[in-house]
């Protein structure tokens, strides 16, 4: 990852920075109805390069630009989220048995988490996360809660 992510993301940039199973062939973004506290969110639609013409959906989170204390808060929040996905969740998902590697990502037997496909914490800070669908509250299998 040498170049900051373009806005909107392009298939060319993603091909060089993709951590998913199949690099994208074509991509487009649409704004989400609501944004995060410190980020702008879009839905990223892509067709993979495997020739299957399968459309996948991801969530793109970009840091809001700011200065002074507000800018520091944005960066600090995004940095915590970045580390959550790239260090903590990755460590927990590395322990997932291979036969469930493509299923729902559940950590601590209770929390569904998206897989982080792209994590860029520099100029143009951007996360590309697996889209888990509409928000819902349900118990993870075997959670006992």
- Residue 135 in any domain: the answer is no
Q: What is the CATH number of the domain that holds 52?
A: 3.30.200
- Residue 44 in any domain: the answer is yes
Predicted confidence (pLDDT) at residue 74 exceeds the cutoff of 70: no
79-101 residue pLDDT tens: 788 888 888 877 666 665 555 55
- Residue 143 in any domain: the answer is no
Average pLDDT over residues 63-73: 57
* pLDDT on residue 136: 59
pLDDT-derived band at 16 (thresholds 50, 70, 90) equals: confident
Cα Rg for the chain, rounded, in angstroms?
A: 16
* pLDDT on residue 1: 57
103-143 residue pLDDT tens: 556 666 667 788 888 888 877 788 898 888 776 566 656 65
- Residue 31 in any domain: the answer is yes
**Cβ burial 130-142 (10 Å sphere, 16+ → b, else e):** beeeeeeeeeeee
Predicted confidence (pLDDT) at residue 10 exceeds the cutoff of 90: yes
- Residue 86 in any domain: the answer is yes
Q: Pick from 53, 44, 57, 60: which is nearest to 11 by CA? A: 44
- Residue 20 in any domain: the answer is yes
Total tally of structural domains belonging to the chain: 1
pLDDT-derived band at 68 (thresholds 50, 70, 90) equals: very low
- Residue 139 in any domain: the answer is no
- Residue 137 in any domain: the answer is no
64 CA to centre of own chain: 16
* pLDDT on residue 87: 82
Range of the domain at 40: 11-130
Predicted confidence (pLDDT) at residue 65 exceeds the cutoff of 50: yes
């Amino acid at each position: 990852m040498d170049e900051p992510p373009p806005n909107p993301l392009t298939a060319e940039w993603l091909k060089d920075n993709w951590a998913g199973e199949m690099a994208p062939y074509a991509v487009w973004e649409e704004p989400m109805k609501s944004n995060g506290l410190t980020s702008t969110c879009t839905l990223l639609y892509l067709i993979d390069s495997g020739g299957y013409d399968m459309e996948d959906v991801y969530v793109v989170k970009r840091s809001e630009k700011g200065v002074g204390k507000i800018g520091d808060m944005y960066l600090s929040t995004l940095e915590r989220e970045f580390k959550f996905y790239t260090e903590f969740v990755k460590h927990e998902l590395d322990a997932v048995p291979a036969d469930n590697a493509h299923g729902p990502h559940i950590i601590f037997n209770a929390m569904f988490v998206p897989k982080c496909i792209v994590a860029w914490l520099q100029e143009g800070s951007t996360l590309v996360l697996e889209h888990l669908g509409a928000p819902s509250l349900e118990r993870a299998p075997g959670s006992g809660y």
